[in-house]
Amino acid sequence: MKCPKCQFDNREGVKFCEKCGTSIELVCAKCGAKIPLDRQFCGECGHDLSRPEEAAPIDYNQPQSYTPKFLAEKILTTRSSIEGERKLVTVLFADVANYMSMSENLDPEEVHQIMDGCFKILMGEIHKYEGTINQFTGDGVMALFGAPVAHEDHAQRACHAALSIQKAVGEYEQKIKKDHGLDFKMRVGLNSGPVIVGAIGDDLRMDYTAVGDTTNLASRMEGMAGSGAVMVSTDTYKMARDFFVFESVGKVPIKGKEKPQEAYELIKASEVETRIEAAAARGLTKFVGRGQEMQVLKAAFEKAKSGSGQVVGIVGEAGVGKSRILLEVRNMLSGDENTYLEGRCLHYGGVMAYLPMLDILRLYFEIKEGEQELEIKKNMKEKILQLHEKLQNALSPFQDLLSLKIEDEAYLKLEPQQKRERTFEALRDLFVRASQHKPLVLAVEDLHWIDKTTEEFLDYLIGSLANARILLILLYRPEYNHLWGSKSYYTKIGVDQLSTPTSVELVQSILEGGDVVPELRELILNRTGGNPLFMEEFTHSLLENGTIQMKDDQYVLSRKTSEIDVPDTIQGIIAARIDRLEENLKRTMQVASVIGRDFAFRILQTITGMKEELKSHLINLQGLEFIYEKRLFPELEYIFKHILTQEVAYNSLLAKRRKEIHENIGKAIETIYAERLE
């Protein structure tokens, strides 16, 4: 079986690619049987697999009836490893503001019809951001973002979904007004906090237990929201504030809480979409280290400039500083002598074809927000003709990409495959032509979230780079696999955590107003393991909750280090990464986390009862840089690369399970070291 993603030739009968982990099965739309990708008919029921699924009416009590396939698959493939875990989520409640008066004034049939339309909007918007709907209430919905599968940006996703719901309902209201003469508005409330994910059934039904008042507070926020508005709690606000505009509504009393809590109205998405933009908007910390990485990039640019195209991968885990390096490259290359264009993939953008290419086109054609269509088209044409008249051909595909009106009848009649070819050619020709004019730097951020079409386009483009004055810079996390590694003009820059001296420099520049006492510096260094994002987030959260205080021009700690928790943002990033692991690896890591930051192979082997396969799991985890081999003698020991990874894995386990593992560790130590203990 050839893998559709990486083309690896797999053994017959495997369900996932053994090279890159992509699913190589189809699910029959009729009977749900799993079938290899290359088949035409279902072996179980004879269904013609090329025929689209007939739309069945939606049953709002049956999650498998309303959950889209891509989400259902994600949940089912990971479910056994997420059951019984503690997760950080954002809870969304939405309901119809004037449901009572609507049901009094209309007959039940009409109300049913209106609500059906409303539920479809809710489903569409929530699923778009990969939320899971837990329950349809009579007049609304409850959904979770970040469970069952963890998302590092659950709060952002929930905010996007809430705004999209209000927008779509606003349009729907116009129709209801026309048909029934009624106002139709929704209230939405959000709160973030922990929940425990219970069993997940074959039918996708997920049990969950609220921890503390995670869900109550979300429901309370919804109750307080005005018609057509979105209200969020302080916890959600803190996680999403960089990316959205909020208005504080002041402190509000909450049932069951002694002190009133701050609530915020979510107004709109801000211009800031990525973490590095948010950091830049707040003011960047001084750039430290990375001299070698910058050298490599500079050399690659010089080569490209002289006519031998280069591809550079900047590869490293979340927060290690990839985007920051790119930002410094952009500053280094700024000026009129070259063109710099950058596009980014978004976490929830995997379904939007050409997303990063759209950024790049908008930059190239200098398209501004809200600009008139005619103006855009005129400018595009001028710019294209300036490059070369042959590029005329590219106009229709570009208009298509940018959702502008296309006049070219012949283009409109093309089959999708032909349109795609035209688009690929158009983009490539634009880049190559532009680079003849001035050296071109193309950067694509966060390839681990790339859509399939852009991915294929990049492969195609890389094939034509060898003699172009183009430097293509690609940023991604280590878990992303690709095909171009073998090209002689490809260079990979592995971005590792900062060295200790560089980390010290960074901590001092984050806390620039005074000296950092050694105890505090050690705490930050130990907990964040040289990851600059973690250093910034951790330090800021300590400042915000008063753990770091200023005394006589010195930053000091006001609490015991053992009482300090991992901030939610970091926890989210790590939890999402752990959830993407294959189940065996994740389980191994969780059990190891109970032993401690360092763990001996023999103990792990005894408590898991695994034999040879444990070795291979650990080798895999090493490859992914979750753990390192600490020493071989006198016995094999491993260590978690980040103490935070160990903490997050440990925190995801329920107390009961931890206790069991602790007991088993005790027993294992007794048996293994019996002689020594005597």
Task: Name the site residues for ligand ADP (rule: CB under 6 A).
Answer: 275-276, 279, 284-285, 287-290, 316, 318-324, 506, 532-533, 536
Residue 254, contacted partner among Mg ion, ligand ADP, none, CB below 5-8 A by kind: none
Interacting residues with Mg ion between 266 and 325 (CB under 5 A): 323
Q: How far is the CB of 146 from ligand ADP (least distance, A)?
A: 19
Residue 577, contacted partner among Mg ion, ligand ADP, none, CB below 5-8 A by kind: none
The span from the CA of 649 to the CA of 638, in Å, is 16
**Are 274 and 470 spatial neighbours (Cβ–Cβ below 8 Å)?**
no
**Are 288 and 464 spatial neighbours (Cβ–Cβ below 8 Å)?**
no
The full DSSP string for 116-144 is HHHHHHHHHHHHHTT-EEEEEETTEEEEE
Tokens of 118: 């409303």
Residue 316, contacted partner among ligand ADP, Mg ion, none, CB below 5-8 A by kind: ligand ADP
Q: How far is the CB of 611 from ligand ADP (least distance, A)?
A: 37
Q: How far is the CB of 150 from Mg ion (least distance, A)?
A: 19
SS3 159: helix
For ligand ADP, the closer CB: 327 or 607: 327
Q: How far is the CB of 660 from ligand ADP (least distance, A)?
A: 36
- Cα dist. 443→283, 304, 329, 440 in Å? 22, 14, 10, 10
Q: How far is the CB of 514 from ligand ADP (least distance, A)?
A: 19
The span from the CA of 612 to the CA of 610, in Å, is 7
For ligand ADP, the closer CB: 264 or 476: 476
Tokens of 465: 């780079």
**Are 151 and 145 spatial neighbours (Cβ–Cβ below 8 Å)?**
yes
Q: How far is the CB of 360 from ligand ADP (least distance, A)?
A: 18
| CA 22 from centre of chain | 18
CB atoms within 10 A of CB 377: 19
236 counts as binding Mg ion under rule CB under 5 A: no
Residue 284, contacted partner among ligand ADP, Mg ion, none, CB below 5-8 A by kind: ligand ADP
The span from the CA of 647 to the CA of 650, in Å, is 5
For Mg ion, the closer CB: 323 or 646: 323
Q: How far is the CB of 200 from ligand ADP (least distance, A)?
A: 30
**Residues near Mg ion (CB under 5 A), total:** 1
Q: How far is the CB of 282 from ligand ADP (least distance, A)?
A: 8
Q: How far is the CB of 446 from Mg ion (least distance, A)?
A: 6
For ligand ADP, the closer CB: 356 or 397: 356
For ligand ADP, the closer CB: 275 or 433: 275
For ligand ADP, the closer CB: 220 or 322: 322
The full DSSP string for 196-258 is EEEEE-TT--EEEEE-TTHHHHHHHHHHHSPTT-EEEEHHHHHHHTTTEEEEEEEEE--TT-S
Residue 480, contacted partner among Mg ion, ligand ADP, none, CB below 5-8 A by kind: none
- Cα dist. 296→160, 314, 552, 615, 652 in Å? 38, 11, 43, 36, 40
CB atoms within 10 A of CB 413: 9
Residue 536, contacted partner among ligand ADP, Mg ion, none, CB below 5-8 A by kind: ligand ADP
**Distance separating the N- and C-terminal Cα atoms of the chain:** 56
Residue 320 DSSP one-character state? S
The span from the CA of 458 to the CA of 182, in Å, is 50
**Nearest CA-CA partner of 455 in 318, 312, 356:** 356
For ligand ADP, the closer CB: 343 or 397: 343
For ligand ADP, the closer CB: 442 or 533: 533
Q: Which residue is nearest to ligand ADP (CB)?
A: 321
Residue 532, contacted partner among Mg ion, ligand ADP, none, CB below 5-8 A by kind: ligand ADP
Q: How far is the CB of 19 from ligand ADP (least distance, A)?
A: 25
Residue 362, contacted partner among ligand ADP, Mg ion, none, CB below 5-8 A by kind: none
Residue 537, contacted partner among ligand ADP, Mg ion, none, CB below 5-8 A by kind: none
For ligand ADP, the closer CB: 429 or 446: 446
For ligand ADP, the closer CB: 218 or 333: 333
Q: Which residues bind Mg ion (CB under 5 A)?
A: 323
